[in-house]
Chains A and B, each alone.
Chain A
């Protein structure tokens, strides 16, 4: 089974600064997708950014970008110009393109934004 590892249970960042959340994964598949989901306290989980494994270019969504290192099986999330609303639990997730059914989630990183 695939595994997803988030080695930082908690992170903090000053407002307006940049923070990087790390994620590594283990797979033998070639067709897969990687995701970062954000879950604010008592609010629903939303997709932050997605990366297709076959794409070499790193995905970006406004202030959010990823550093996808396929050979190293690393998928980190960079949040620029951090805002108070970025405070949340962030989950890295893997999903196979072959079977398509199961998300494999990391254990999450709780991000605190300091005013």
Chain B
């Protein structure tokens, strides 16, 4: 199975918005999650079921999905948003696949 496709990098200035795409997700399910990972740390759940934000995650983070592409948008970029971001998709038959990851740089 192939990893989902994410852009290797993305960037934006403080206060701007940036969107990270995740292509190749199942069109049969909306179970896409997004994770933020800072260097040397465990990943943190930011979005699940494509659009749902766990409690405690700033509302600057939002998710969407259309067809086989999911997206994570970070609005009002802040310095602490600089991290690696990964998507994961449920593919059916109890199989999960991660994207290759996107390094977000806050300029």
Partners in one complex: no
Chain A residues in contact with chain B, CB under 8 A? none
Chain B residues in contact with chain A, CB under 8 A? none
